[in-house]
Amino acid sequence: MGSVQQEIQEGRTALGIEFGSTRIKGVLINERNEAIAVGNYDWENTLLDGRIWSYSLDDVKKGLQGCYASLAADVKEKYGVSLEKIGYLGISGMMHGYIVLDENDQLLVPFRTWRNTITGEASEKLTKEFHFHIPQRWSIAHLYQAILNNEEHVGKIRTLTTLAGYVHWQLTGKKVMGNGEASGMFPIDLATKKFDAKMIAQFNALVADRGFAWKLEEILPEVLNAGEDAGCLTEEGAKLLDPTGTLKAGSKMCPPEGDAGTGMVATNSVAVRTGNVSAGTSVFAMVVLEKGLQGVYDELDMVTTPVGDQVAMVHCNNCTSDLNAWVNIFKEFEEACGRNVDMNELYGTLYRKSLEGDPDCGGLLAYNYFSGEHITGFEEGRPLFVRRPDDHFNLANFMRAHLFTSLGALKIGLDILLQKEGVKVDEMRGHGGLFKTAGVGQRYMAAAVNAPVSVMKTASEGGAWGIALLAMYLKQKETYPTLAQFLSDCVFANAESTVMSPDPKDVEGFATFIKRYQDGLSIEKAAVESLKEA
């Protein structure tokens, strides 16, 4: 323990903080890339005016400080020292979304998150203009939709950024963006590793008649690759992060990244023909491509790794929220019976019970749509469970159906990539809450993609660990010229992982379930139309 204490006191550490959908997590790592302290802060988004999912910037500040305070307390408790110096620091967050500031750096409209599905017109028109799929979540889609809506604030914009970019700017004073996060704002030119200049010119021409005082390239952040200098923690930034004044300024900071990029890093999935799945509140799968795709698909997003290599991504808004809600129902039942509930045990018990179910869930059907789901064409969602009277209704099939449906929309998108386009992937690597119970989520993911799925022991640390690794890469870049080398040779050389190959019965059962899922989308549509939001 003494050596870790010394590393902490001498600042030979890296801190990663990731703003997730429901939790802000911080992970402090040592020079061996091991997590030595963790901090957490729970938060929730708010639905403004019944249509805009948002987090207030006050909550962003409180969450940042709360997460850091939790981590500093963990350091103090474990090692008996105060956290005064951090060598390297990185910020990550939910990708996409829309944060716009005026000439005085004041917020013009509430932060619009990735979860919003209100930019359909802009997405469609920009996809046609660029011949490049622009998802509704992307920052440029939000900007163009605001223009199409004639929103008054647009002419005042001087900065367009994301949550990770905003927090990084608050800490460093620099308006920059990591390549992976930037690729969820606007398309990247794979040759220059910067925003695509031709498409920027097309966009400027598209809105020229509006007479704005800005050009797109003037309001977008500077794009940086992993390993490049993104500034240092300023005195103001240190006070923002740690209001107690204990933390000193000067930490070197890596480019801010999105949760897709940190997921790739945390699962060693930045090399060609590797892929990863991040499954939590939302779910997304990414495969690093050998070559470009033949077609343009609404279901597939073309993004990049933190070093600018092309990635095909299937992103779904909904994953475990409804699953978690059902587990909480069982928690309430246990408490009503007078029993104390260990949530890890409850999750594990229910997840493992699903393994006893029929391969196709016994005919049961569920939709986990807390919000809209663009993969299947929904702007709103209604969580839904339905069955026929003679279906095989039991606890095992009930849980299995909810676990399957958490991957349902994802499978529809992945089938385009892996079957229609014939993309090859040697192994998918899983991380996130769905994989926490050993051998369950992993098994169903293998069935969904019909390929081996591995889960690393370190994967539970997730994207916060991933952004900490990107911060530490600032120190290691001279030794390891590429990020892939750093991860394979320095971070994961002796990593423990479990690999699960698909069971043919599960593959067949999932295929049967997904046909039922697609056939039943009209039921979900009727629920949206019949049950108006409160």
Give per-residue pLDDT as tens, 70-110: 999 999 999 999 999 999 999 999 999 999 999 999 999 99
Q: How many CA atoms within 13 Å lie on the side-chain side of 453? A: 23
Burial 220-256 (b: 16+ CB within 10 A, else e): bbebbbbbbebbbbbeebbebbbeeeebeebbbbbbb
What is the mean predicted confidence (pLDDT) over 1-23? 92
Domain that includes residue 361, residue range:
321-405+504-530
Is the pLDDT score of 57 beyond 60?
yes
Cα separation of 3 and 196, whole Å? 47
Mean pLDDT for the chain overall: 94
Give domain status of residue 395, yes or no: yes
**How deeply is 457 buried, as exposed, middle or buried, from its count of CB atoms within 10 A (0-12, 13-18, 19+)?**
exposed
Give domain status of residue 380, yes or no: yes
Give domain status of residue 366, yes or no: yes
Cα separation of 313 and 300, whole Å? 6
Cα separation of 154 and 49, whole Å? 20
Give domain status of residue 180, yes or no: no
Cβ–Cβ < 8 Å for 223, 179: yes
Cβ–Cβ < 8 Å for 297, 264: no
| pTM of the predicted protein model | 0.83
Burial 378-414 (b: 16+ CB within 10 A, else e): bebbbbbeebeeebeeeebbbbbbbbbbbbbbbbbbb
**How deeply is 187 buried, as exposed, middle or buried, from its count of CB atoms within 10 A (0-12, 13-18, 19+)?**
buried
Is the pLDDT score of 344 beyond 70?
yes
Instruction: Give which of 21, 24, 23, 25 is closest to 54, Cα–Cα.
Output: 21
Cα separation of 196 and 201, whole Å? 9
Instruction: Give which of 390, 368, 499, 340 is closest to 435, Cα–Cα.
Output: 499
Cβ–Cβ < 8 Å for 20, 432: no
Instruction: Give which of 147, 139, 60 is closest to 100, Cα–Cα.
Output: 139
Lookup: tokens for 173: 């004073």
Predicted confidence band at 361 (pLDDT cuts at 50, 70, 90)? very high
Cα separation of 405 and 369, whole Å? 10
Is the pLDDT score of 460 beyond 60?
no
Question: Which pLDDT belongs to residue 487?
Answer: 95
pLDDT tens for each residue of 255-289: 999 998 998 998 899 988 889 898 888 898 999 99
Q: Does the CA dihedral 353-358-364-365 come out positive or negative?
A: positive
Q: What are the φ and ψ backbone dihedral angles of 64, each rounded to 5 degrees?
A: -60, -50
pLDDT tens for each residue of 132-153: 999 999 999 999 999 999 999 9
Give domain status of residue 367, yes or no: yes
Question: Which pLDDT belongs to residue 458?
Answer: 61
Cα separation of 259 and 313, whole Å? 12
Q: Does the CA dihedral 102-103-105-106 come out positive or negative?
A: negative
Of 430 and 65, the one with more pLDDT: 65
Cα torsion 89, 91, 92, 93 to 10°: value is 160
Report how many domains make up the chain: 1
Give domain status of residue 482, yes or no: no
Q: Would residue 287 be called left, alpha or beta, if left means φ above 0 and alpha means ψ between -120 and 50 degrees?
A: beta
pLDDT tens for each residue of 28-42: 999 999 999 999 999
Q: Does the CA dihedral 308-312-317-321 come out positive or negative?
A: negative
Cβ–Cβ < 8 Å for 343, 330: no
Cα separation of 276 and 265, whole Å? 10
- DSSP at 232: B
Cα separation of 202 and 529, whole Å? 38
Question: Which pLDDT belongs to residue 358?
Answer: 98
Give domain status of residue 141, yes or no: no
Question: Which pLDDT belongs to residue 461?
Answer: 65
| E strand or H helix at 455 | strand 453-456
Give domain status of residue 86, yes or no: no
Token pair 């809506």 is found at: 149
Of 239 and 313, the one with more pLDDT: 239
Predicted confidence band at 225 (pLDDT cuts at 50, 70, 90)? very high
Question: Which pLDDT belongs to residue 414?
Answer: 94
Token pair 């039991």 is found at: 394
3-state secondary structure of 263: helix
